[in-house]
Amino acid sequence: MAGLVWSPKAVDELEAICNYIAIDSEYYAHVFAKGVIEVVERLEMFPESGRTVPEYEQEDIREVIFQSYRVVYRVKPDVVEIVAIVHGARLIGSLQ
């Protein structure tokens, strides 16, 4: 089982998405955040369950899809690092 860490960028992105959803519904913002967290927590047991990110073509950079969002993560020897949460219609950009 791998450990799990969130990059500051990924935390900021999740918070921004939830704040946007909360403009219309605090309830659905909470449901969205809970869903993302559940998807991410599964990666601890199954770190290679997501597909490799086509834009990067690196085995260690993978993604899982949740609703319309791409949850991008990096698989390291003992840890899964959540690096970005990006709407599927947007470009990923830099993962730094």
CATH of the domain at 79: 3.30.2310.20
Residue scoring higher pLDDT (27 or 94): 27
pLDDT bracket for residue 57 (50, 70, 90): confident
Which tokens hold the place of 59?
Answer: 């085995």
- Has residue 36 been placed in a domain? yes
- Has residue 66 been placed in a domain? yes
Kindly report the average pLDDT of the chain as a whole number: 91
pLDDT bracket for residue 1 (50, 70, 90): low
Confidence check: pLDDT of 96 > 60: no
Write out the residue range of the structural domain in which residue 8 sits. 3-87
Sign, CA dihedral 5-60-31-34, equals negative
- Has residue 29 been placed in a domain? yes
> What is the count of structural domains for the chain?
1
- Pairing, β 79-87 against β 3-6: parallel
- Has residue 95 been placed in a domain? no
